[in-house]
Amino acid sequence: MSVAESTKQLAPAGTWTADPVHSNVSFEVEYAGVNAFRGGFKEFTATLEGSNLEGSAKVASVDVKDEQLNGHLQTPDFFDAERNPEITFKATGLKRLDGDRVEGSGELTIKGVTQPIQLTGKVASAPATDPFGRERLGLKLEGEIDRTQYGVSWNAPNQSGGDYLGNDVKLIAELAFVKAGE
């Protein structure tokens, strides 16, 4: 790999793992036609090597501000946690652009359905050393999917017209990576 190619990698050589305490994996979807509803996953993993990113989230860890809704999201109406306990992601097409912008593609699997996803975001210009001597690197990625393409199609009619939930879902991963072995 040439010097020019290595400077375009998202991460310096080595394996980087997401620090779950300082990272966030979330989603937002239009709700009732008036605002964005947000939720996330408490348990997830992500590994970055060069520009290759892989990750997963445990469906049972979905977290919204209502325990009853957390339960409903586990059912076949939404994520079907019993038959599909994880959501997975794999990207090999991420590229660092000027100004530390990131663009690329990957594959997202929800409910056993794998679809391509386009991503944009930002990566830290260089790793930083934390107070414990570990190298850290920040990466934020966003993408949008149509949830119905993954079999997540529950909805209800909105009394004001249209459906209660939008089909387009924004996905956000704000990942603080720590270099493995440190």
Model pLDDT for residues 115-169, shown as the tens digit of each residue: 999 999 999 999 999 999 999 999 999 999 999 999 999 999 988 888 999 999 9
Classify the phi-psi angles of 6: left when phi > 0, otherwise alpha if psi is within -120 to 50, otherwise beta: alpha
Q: The tokens of 161 are what?
A: 């017209």
pLDDT reported for residue 1: 39
pLDDT reported for residue 59: 98
User: Rounded mean pLDDT of 11-15?
Assistant: 94
Q: Distances from the Cα of 5 to the Cαs of 8, 104, 156, in angstroms? A: 5, 16, 49
Question: What SS3 string covers 116-153?
Answer: EEEEEEEECCCCEECCCCCEEEEEEEEEEEEHHHHCCC
Model pLDDT for residues 22-72, shown as the tens digit of each residue: 999 999 999 988 999 999 999 999 999 999 999 999 999 999 999 999 999
pLDDT reported for residue 3: 37
Q: Of 155, 173, 172, whose CA–CA distance to 164 is shortest?
A: 155
pLDDT reported for residue 182: 59
Q: Is the pLDDT of residue 17 over 50?
A: yes
Q: Is the pLDDT of residue 5 over 60?
A: no
User: Rounded mean pLDDT of 82-104?
Assistant: 94
Query: What CA–CA distance (Å, rounded) separates 68 from 152?
Result: 18
Q: Is the pLDDT of residue 112 over 50?
A: yes
User: Rounded mean pLDDT of 2-21?
Assistant: 78
